[in-house]
Structure 1
Amino acid sequence: MPRAAGGMEGRVAERLRGALGPLGFEVHAFKVGWYNAILQPGFHLPYSDDTLAFVVLSTPSMFDKALKPFVNKERLKIIRDPVDQCVSHHLSRVKEKFPDQKVDVIFDYEILPSRKPKFLAQTAAHVAGAAYYYQRKDVKLDPWEKKKIYGVCIHPKYGGWFAIRGLLLFPDIQDGRYRDIIEVKERYSEEQKAYFATPPAERFQLLGLTQEAQRGTFH
């Protein structure tokens, strides 16, 4: 999966890694559109495709660098899972480093009223290039027959010894410069950019088409 390019993404990533890296966390950038493109609508993140996001992983060193210091300091305030509280504490503090930006945080344990997870952690890690999400379809000789088999994410450095903890989303950063990550032969015109940035229901008017054409000619 290609990585997002551009000065803003680079500055945000550098600031995040500076804050979370020493605590044993990794952050990996992706565009919401990459994630939504491979999932059913019911699992889509409710952001525009060009929204910048980061998946946050905890590595083995997080236990010593973040969790134990947090427990020692906040022992009397821990009322639920210590790891969840530790992650929540540090990701919430990251927001303070971006006073001029809106930052949304989604944690791996959060669910919707429908009981679905707010995001599919392994899919997010996969599209960000943080870990490879191996699924049943990746196995050429399937030995499980009718058994239900779940996929697993493998990290290039830590194998299965890591965890996906959450997402950081920057709704105000919707940067399309990742499209120029290679030398391109042709780009969208400004008119074409405007067309694809317009909600589908309003696109016919941009092309000079009537609602009758929409209903009768296009399917």
Structure 2
Amino acid sequence: MDLSQEEFELIQSLLESQLTPFGFESSPLLIKWYNEQVDKKFKFKSIHEDSLAFCVTSTSEMFERGFLPFVFESGICRDLRNALDESIGFYLKKMCQDLQNYQPIFYRDSDLEPGTRRPAFLAQTAAHVSGVAYYYHPSEIIQSAKREGIPLPWSEEDQQGRVYGVSIHHKYGGWFAIRGLIILQNVKYKSLQQTPPPDVVESIQLKVKLLNDFNFSNWKNWNYRDIIPVHPKMKYSQLQRKYFETEPKLRYDSLHDELKQSWLNLKEM
């Protein structure tokens, strides 16, 4: 079906009402925007190019408002070592239930293409083409640095396959995560206008620093996330940082009391 602007705004409003209370946000895109940017093996070949999709991201609030209630309140968490992925799937499925008329399907950022080790979709590309976060691609930055004579803080050997790109949000910096993609299979919205994400890391020197901090600095220091100024309230809480810094198989057992107390405190507010 071809959407009118009014119908599109209704879908956006419905998603927002489902997402915001749990610390999620979404940004619309057309499948063709994504397909134009990825290799053949990653394209959505069986979905019409004008199909409407939404890239779903989480803010710093998702941990306390979405994840902790899922673990301690929902009663459906089956694998505490995989609780975060389970919670993302739970909320994406919940969103899709209210969009059944549009034949929705969803992918988590952790999902793999069946029978392969390839991701089901390239999350950073989806975020970039939807305008939600700028993807800083290493090859582009390395080429620009070499043209301008800016030294790279890593070796040529490291440069071959070890330097990965990273996405930065114009408001949250690196204090956010790309969580999933919802595709409305029978919805076309050709009039959707693409809005490029803001390039907020302005100089090549800072972009090189961003890649270096993301790839080679100890990720537990969180430096790359602060490549642009971010309000303290938009950053991950100390408990959330501690959770992600802990080895996945140890997270729940070692942090159970702190996690539950945080959830109880939130319930009392």
- Measured against the shorter chain, the TM-score band is 0.7 to 0.9
Structure 1: tracts of 5 or more residues without a match: 182-219
Name whichever of 150-159 and 9-18 sits farther off: 9-18
Cα RMSD after superposing both structures: 2.2
> Do structure 1's residue 153 and structure 2's residue 167 form an aligned pair?
yes
> 1:89/1:163 Cα in 2 relative to 1: closer, same or farther (>3 Å)?
same
Do the aligned partners of 2:55 and 2:181 also contact (CA within 8 Å) in 1? yes
TM-score computed with the length of structure 2 as normaliser = 0.62
Structure 2: tracts of 5 or more residues without a match: 147-151, 196-269
Do the aligned partners of 2:129 and 2:194 also contact (CA within 8 Å) in 1? no
- Count of matched residue positions in the alignment of Structure 1 and Structure 2: 178
CA–CA distance in structure 1, aligned partners of residues 193 and 111 of structure 2: 32
TM-score computed with the length of structure 1 as normaliser = 0.75
> Do structure 1's residue 141 and structure 2's residue 141 form an aligned pair?
no
Instruction: Tell me the SS of whatever aligns to 1:164.
Output: strand
Aligned to 2:116: 114
Aligned to 1:13: 12
% of aligned pairs identical?
A: 34
1:34-73 per-residue CA deviation (whole Å, 9 max, x = no partner) reads 0100111111023111010001001100011111111111
> 1:63/1:175 Cα in 2 relative to 1: closer, same or farther (>3 Å)?
same
CA–CA distance in structure 2, aligned partners of residues 72 and 135 of structure 1: 39
Larger radius of gyration: 1
> 1:173/1:73 Cα in 2 relative to 1: closer, same or farther (>3 Å)?
same
Do the aligned partners of 1:5 and 1:178 also contact (CA within 8 Å) in 2? no
1:151-188 per-residue CA deviation (whole Å, 9 max, x = no partner) reads 0000111111111111000011012223699xxxxxxx
Q: How does 1:75-114 map to 2 (within 5 A)?
A: 77-79=77-79, 80-112=81-113, 113-114=115-116
CA–CA distance in structure 2, aligned partners of residues 11 and 21 of structure 1: 15
Deviation for aligned residue 1:100: 1.9
Q: Which has the higher helix share?
A: 2
CA–CA distance in structure 2, aligned partners of residues 59 and 162 of structure 1: 5
Instruction: Tell me the SS of whatever aligns to 1:100.
Output: helix
Name whichever of 91-100 and 123-132 sits farther off: 91-100
